[in-house]
Amino acid sequence: MRPGWTSVTYKNLSNNILFIGRHISCQIDSKDDSSTNNTINDTNSDGIYTNGDLQYQSLLRQHPLNVKVTLIISPDHTGELIFSYLTQLNIVTVQGKLSGLKAQQSQTLTSTLLHNLLDDNDHGQLSPNPTTDFLFQQQGKSAPIFSDAIGGYPYYWIQQLCKCQMVPLQRQELVTDCSEIIKRLTQRMRARIALDRILINLEKNEMPLLAEGNETTSILNSSLRRSINNLTTLRSWREISFEDINKYEYIQILMNENLIDRVTTSIYECKFQSLSQDDNNKTILYAHIFIPANYPQARSIILLKLLLSTNGNKTTERTRANSENIKILERSLMCDIVYSPMTSMGSSLNDPSQHFTLLAQQIWRLSIGFPLLIDAESDLTCTSRRRQTLLSRLAD
C-alpha cells in the first residue's frame, strides 16, 4: 500500500462532500478492533466458505477509519453512506442506508439503493481494480461478489471520487462534481420513500394513493374510467424472485434479451380479479412488475398473464406470446402518463420528482385497462382497429 494513500483518499472524499448543504454532514469515524478484525460470515455472497480462512479474510480487511455521510431527506427519513477502504485490494466500498421506511418489503428498496446511480452498468458487485482477481487466484479462490455482507459495494464513481487511479479512462465521465452526486442521491432516496408509501398500500391489497395536482394525469376522473361497468379488485401483492418466474416462457424471452437485469431488478406479482363475474366464470389478471434500481428515471416493466375460466372447469391462459391484446395493454402501461410542464423554450422539464408516483399510476391504469382487456378477449371478431382503439383509450 502506498504511504499516505488512505489519508489522501479520505481527505479527497470528505473535502468533496463537506459544505455542499446544511442537510448533509460528513465525519470520519474510527472502528473498534472487534469490528475491524472480526470474521466475516460463514460464506460470502458468492457461496465461498470464508470463516477461519485468514488469508482470504485479510484481502477483505477494512481500514479502521471510515467516512460517514448523513443526508437529512425529510423529518422522518435519513440517508446514510458509510465509505470503507479495503487496504489489500486498494478499493473503496460504500454501504447505503435509508431510515424511516415502513413497508414489509422495504429491505429490497435499501439493498439496491445505490445501484446504477450514475451508470446503468455500475451495480457494484465486481471490483473495479483489475488486480483483485489475481490476488484471490493466488489463494486458490474466486474474487467475491461484493455486497453489504462483506463491507459494501465498490462502485466506479466512488473510486473516481476518492481519486483512485484504477478507474478505466472510459469511466472518467461518471463524476463531474460532488454536488451532482449528492443531487442524484437525494433524488434516489426521495424516490424510494415514495415507492415505500406505494408498497404500504399494495401490501394491504389497497390501491395506491396518487399525488395531488397534475401528476394524476386525470386518471381517477377520466371519462374512460367512468364508462367502465366491470369493476376489478386487487386480490394480492407479493415480492417474488427470478427463480419464481423462470417457469414462464414469455418472461424468459425478455430476460434472454437482457431487457431485465437479474442483479438490480426488484420483482413483484399482483393479482386482479373481475367482480362482475360469478365463481364459475372467473377472470384473473396476473401482473409481474419489474422495478429497476434507477426507478423512476427508468420506469417499471409490467408483463401480464390473463386466466379465463369458463363454467368452472376450463381455464384459458393468455400472455404476450398468444395475445395481441396483452401486448397492447403492456405497451400502454409504458406510455408517458406523467404530466410534464413546459419551460419558456417549450422543452419538457426532466425532473425525476415528477415521476415519484409512476408505479401507482401504472397500477391504476392496469386496473382500468383490465375490463377493456376482458372485452377484447371475449370478442372473437376483435380486429386490429379495435385493438388500436383499446390502446388509444388507455393512453388518453
Rg (CA), the chain: 24
Nearest CA-CA partner of 87 in 125, 126, 65, 61? 61
How much of the chain, in percent, has pLDDT values that exceed 90?
33
pLDDT tier at 45, thresholds 50, 70, 90: very low
Q: Looking at residue 352, what is its pLDDT?
A: 47
Q: Which segment, 155-164, 237-246, 341-350, is predicted with the most confidence on average? A: 237-246
pLDDT tier at 105, thresholds 50, 70, 90: confident
pLDDT (average), residues 249-270: 83
Exposed e or buried b per residue across 258-296, where buried means at least 16 C-beta atoms within 10 angstroms of its C-beta: eebbeebbbbbbbbbbbeeeeeeeebbbbbbbbbbbbbb
How much of the chain, in percent, has pLDDT values that exceed 70?
68
Considering the chain, what is the average pLDDT of its residues? 77
SS3 43: strand
pTM of this prediction? 0.80
pLDDT (average), residues 52-58: 77
DSSP 323: -
Identify the residue whose cell numbers are 449528492. Answer: 182
pLDDT at 270 over 60: yes
CA distances from 119 to 115, 172, 174, 186, 264 (A): 9, 11, 7, 16, 12
pLDDT (average), residues 376-381: 72
AA identity, residue 231: L
pLDDT (average), residues 365-389: 75
pLDDT of 158-176, one tens digit each?
A: 888 887 766 565 555 555 5
Angle at 250 between CA 245 and CA 252, to 5 degrees: 55
Q: Looking at residue 170, what is its pLDDT?
A: 57
- Structural domain boundaries in the chain: 5-189, 208-395
Peptide bond into 296 cis (omega under 30): yes
Residue pair 103/196 in contact by the 8 Å Cβ criterion? yes
Q: Looking at residue 51, what is its pLDDT?
A: 46
pLDDT (average), residues 58-63: 91
